[in-house]
């Protein structure tokens, strides 16, 4: 028997065993309210006792997952953002209402801090939305300062397709001087994302007196868009790609509570 870590997002569910976080599995939802049928089949055959999970998806997806686990005789521990985490590291949550901070943002922040300890971090998650969070390292602890939420790349594309159908938008190339509509749209959208990140970097540098500021990129979008990946690395030499941070943060919390 094993324990699993589960991150339920708006588009997909990702999970790994607590003992082996380096080989996560991801499944796109069948719909906004229905988990992947392949996932349901796979987990039905997997022996596990406990699931340590967070969700930012619609409630029916979380309810369906919990029912699946209960039918196997297991238990789901739903984990949420809190005012403070104390364990191998300490992180203070300065969100106005800490419990309203998205669980994926909080646990990705914990995961990033555990992987890049001693640095102040601009943490970027590329998904349905793009979130850019600032985490300051102060002496021997971290402080989650807050962050920005913007439409993700796919949402930007779909918005233009719906609102300006005459553009006939399709994916183009990221270039310095776009000379066709496809390249203009692709370059504009990606550079919007990069501009958001660069602004957050400057804000955090003013706040972080001693610790170096690094950028950590995560989320499904960074794997899907090679142009975004390359643009981020080109514009931010201190950028680190790490696509498994939410699960690593969940593992810290699970190990604290066991």
Contact at 8 Å (CB) between 214 and 240? yes
- 104 catalytically annotated: yes
Query: Exactly one of 104, 140, 176, 234 is catalytic; which is it?
Result: 104
pLDDT of residue 254: 93
Q: Do 219 and 140 sit in the same domain of this protein?
A: yes
Residue 256 lies in a domain: no
Quick: pLDDT tens for 167-194. 777 778 888 899 998 889 888 988 888 8
Contact at 8 Å (CB) between 2 and 17? yes
Binding residues for substrate: 95, 102-105, 181
Q: Do 103 and 137 sit in the same domain of this protein?
A: yes
**Contact partners, residue 113, CB within 8 Å, separation at least 6:** 89, 91, 121, 135, 137, 142
Quick: pLDDT tens for 127-151. 889 999 999 999 889 999 999 999 9
pLDDT of residue 72: 83
Domain that holds residue 32: 2-78
Q: Do 68 and 109 sit in the same domain of this protein?
A: no
Binding residues for ATP: 7-14, 128
Range from 40-49, 220-229, 233-242 carrying the lowest mean pLDDT: 220-229
Where a domain ends, among 23, 52, 78?
78
């Amino acid at each position: 028997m094993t324990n699993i870590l589960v991150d339920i997002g708006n588009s997909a569910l990702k999970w790994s065993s607590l003992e082996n976080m380096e080989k996560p599995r991801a499944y796109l939802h069948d719909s906004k309210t229905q988990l992947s049928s392949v996932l349901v089949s796979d987990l039905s055959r997997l022996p596990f006792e406990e699931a340590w999970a967070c969700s930012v998806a619609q409630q029916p997806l979380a309810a369906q997952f919990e029912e699946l686990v209960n039918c196997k005789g297991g238990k789901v521990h739903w984990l949420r953002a809190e005012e403070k985490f104390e364990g191998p590291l300490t992180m203070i949550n300065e969100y106005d209402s800490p419990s309203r901070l998205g669980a994926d943002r909080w646990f990705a922040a914990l995961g990033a801090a555990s992987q890049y300890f001693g640095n102040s971090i601009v943490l970027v998650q590329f998904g349905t939305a793009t979130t850019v969070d600032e985490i300051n390292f102060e002496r021997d602890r971290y402080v989650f300062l807050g962050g920005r939420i913007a439409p993700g790349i796919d949402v930007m594309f779909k918005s233009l397709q719906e609102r300006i159908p005459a553009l006939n938008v399709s994916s183009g190339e990221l270039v310095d001087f776009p000379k066709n509509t496809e390249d203009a749209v692709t370059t504009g959208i990606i550079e919007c994302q990069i501009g958001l990140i660069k602004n957050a970097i400057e804000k955090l540098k003013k706040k972080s007196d001693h610790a170096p500021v690094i950028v950590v990129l995560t989320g499904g979008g960074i794997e899907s868009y090679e142009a975004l990946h390359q643009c981020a690395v080109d514009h931010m030499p201190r950028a680190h790609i790490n696509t498994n941070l939410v699960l690593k943060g969940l593992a810290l919390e699970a190990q604290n509570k066991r």
